[in-house]
Amino acid sequence: MRIALAQLNYHIGDFENNIAQIKSAIRKAKELPADVVVFSELAVCGYPPRDFLEFDDFISSCHKAILSIAEECRDIAVIVGAPSVNPSDKGKPLYNSAYFLADGKIRSVFHKTLLPNYDVFDEYRYFEPNRLPYAVVEYKKYKFAVTICEDLWNIADDPLYVRNPMDELIQLNPDLVINIAASPFHYDQPAIRKDILVKNAVKYKLPFFYLNHVGGQTELLFDGGSMVIDPQGNVFDEMKYFEEDLQVYNLNDFDYKDKNENRKDAKAQSKIELIHDALVMGICDYFGKMELKTAILGLSGGIDSAVTLVLAAKALGCDNVRAILLPSRFSSEHSKQDAVELADRLNVRHDIIAIDEAFGALEDTLKPYFKDLPFNLAEENMQARARAVILMALSNKFGYILLNTSNKSEAAVGYGTLYGDMCGGISVLGDLYKTQVYELAEYINRKKEIIPQNTITKPPSAELRPGQKDSDSLPEYDVLDRILYGYIELRKGPNELIREGFDPVLVKRVLRLVNTSEYKRYQTPPILRVSPKAFGTGRRMPIVGKYLS
């Protein structure tokens, strides 16, 4: 029994493209050869299709896709994910299903039982959980247990669901388990996922074939890393991260051995390397799937725009990125130098467009109303917004997409200008705390200095008034980021954080800043997600809420 895993990059709702990719992989799998080829969860429509699932037209396109793929299934079987219609008049209208296709037909359909509905997941919004008796499908004398993503995840001590599908499936004596998934990346996810799969293999003493999506879908990044676990719980093989891949595995290679000589070492990338690769893929796929080519960004000489520029140049090519320096009367000479130096090193076109004339005209226009009121946040924000207007004008005129360069620390405490530096089509670093942005800069410079050292070592400043430093308004980032991580990623309340030794006044101030900035974050671009708790669809907070604020 030779099983091929096809780890592909789908485009949500682009049936023509998705079907073509799947059929091409079926042909390749036949050549390898393989008896069965496996595609991921909801492969035919891409993941997550969100409310497109509420359109009959969309569901009917999914079904047509399955029938069209089935026609290719001669001398090979296919396991592929798609929504299917719940025939009962009770419950939600759809299932999240895995189709087993063989001999040109649909042989079996299996439905997902455990529907994730937390963080970025909304599967109960669309799907009815499986309530039917479980079944296996027999093909070429092997019994396949076909499961879908979360179905294997209820193995922890504190299970999120009351049912565990594998406990029921194991009664049917399957020979192997297939798991088709759409498991989005965050920096801890590859290790967690491997642990879950190993636990399953050890508990059920079966080989597990796990197949994940790869590619970016706006903010959600799928890392691939599909894998095969042998019945002893060893990782037999791990497929590529952040790239498409197609591999075939012979069940006999490990099925009858005690020791596993074929076992490859699992890839062990560092977290920061994973984050780097995820962000580059995220930019690349956002532009590719939006059918866009070129990016623009404001290059300030600071660390955030520098790291964003490096990643964008890597993802899109240096000819497809344009950097604009937008100095004002408050910009320092070193900022301009650092920015120009970076653009030159990367071979990226840069222009210097001073904002003084536009800012001056805005000041003039408002003079009759502002009179002699002191220069304050209003004027600071006006500079950031004048920059945004210029960048967006270039974007509109020449078809560039503006990259947002904000980081997660700023976004958390609202240290940014709405409709100013918070603009952009996609936020590249919005899920990295400032201290992680530095870590990423060091990683980028690991072999040679790409980002000027001065950008890394100088104190961060928005340069919106003379001598301004971030630390004038905010705690030092190493303390701030640890409080933010505790509150945002770990959902610790004020008392827990204070018990850990943080200053009570500071904790309350930071939590208040986070909660009273929801209105700003509501209007910011989608953020490439690399952490277990990113701002955006995975974190839903009331705007008018008054908790801890």
Site for a copy of itself in 166-205 (CB under 8 A): none
Distance CA 522, CA 263 (A): 47
45 catalytic? Reply is no
Distance CA 215, CA 286 (A): 9
- Could you say whether residue 369 binds a copy of itself (CB under 8 A)? yes
* The only residue of 141, 447, 448, 540 in contact with a copy of itself, by rule CB under 8 A: 540
Catalytic pick among 62, 73, 149, 423: 149
Distance CA 135, CA 109 (A): 10
The residue count for binding a copy of itself (CB under 8 A) is: 99
- Could you say whether residue 256 binds a copy of itself (CB under 8 A)? no
CB of residue 288 to a copy of itself, shortest distance in Å? 9
Cα distances (angstroms) measured from residue 104 to each of 17, 67, 68, 74, 135: 21, 8, 9, 6, 21
- Could you say whether residue 122 binds a copy of itself (CB under 8 A)? yes
CB of residue 321 to a copy of itself, shortest distance in Å? 16
- Could you say whether residue 143 binds a copy of itself (CB under 8 A)? no
With H, G, I as helix, E, B as strand and everything else as coil, classify residue 84: strand
Structure tokens at 94: 């759809």
Sheet holding 105-111, edge to edge: 105-111, 94-102, 77-85, 36-38, 2-7, 245-250
Letters for 205-234 (x = contact with a copy of itself by CB under 8 A, - = none) are -----------xxx----------------
* The only residue of 221, 355, 480, 528 in contact with a copy of itself, by rule CB under 8 A: 355
Q: Segment 495-534, which members bind a copy of itself (CB under 8 A)?
A: 495-496, 519, 522-526
Distance CA 462, CA 326 (A): 12
Token pair 């798609």 is at which residue? 82
* The only residue of 31, 258, 265, 364 in contact with a copy of itself, by rule CB under 8 A: 364
Cα distances (angstroms) measured from residue 510 to each of 7, 256, 412, 424, 543: 42, 58, 9, 26, 17
41 catalytic? Reply is yes
* The only residue of 351, 449, 476, 478 in contact with a copy of itself, by rule CB under 8 A: 351
Q: Segment 434-473, which members bind a copy of itself (CB under 8 A)?
A: none
Structure tokens at 126: 């669309």
- Helix locations, 318-376, DSSP H: 333-346, 356-370
Q: Segment 402-441, which members bind a copy of itself (CB under 8 A)?
A: 418-419, 423, 425
- Could you say whether residue 362 binds a copy of itself (CB under 8 A)? yes
Let me know: does 448 contact 456? Beta carbons within 8 Å. Answer: no
Catalytic pick among 112, 289, 434, 492: 112
Distance CA 496, CA 396 (A): 48
Q: Of the two residues 49 and 224, which places its CB atom closer to a copy of itself in the complex?
A: 49
Contacts of 361 (CB under 8 A, 6+ apart): none
Phi, psi of 546 (to 5 degrees): -120, 15
149 catalytic? Reply is yes
How long, in residues, is the chain?
549
* The only residue of 89, 258, 261, 265 in contact with a copy of itself, by rule CB under 8 A: 89
Letters for 27-66 (x = contact with a copy of itself by CB under 8 A, - = none) are -------------------x-xxxxx-xxxxx--------
* The only residue of 31, 157, 261, 333 in contact with a copy of itself, by rule CB under 8 A: 157
- Could you say whether residue 474 binds a copy of itself (CB under 8 A)? no
Q: Segment 257-286, which members bind a copy of itself (CB under 8 A)?
A: 285-286
Angle at 510 (CA atoms; ends 471, 375), nearest 5 degrees: 50
Residues noted as catalytic: 41, 112, 149
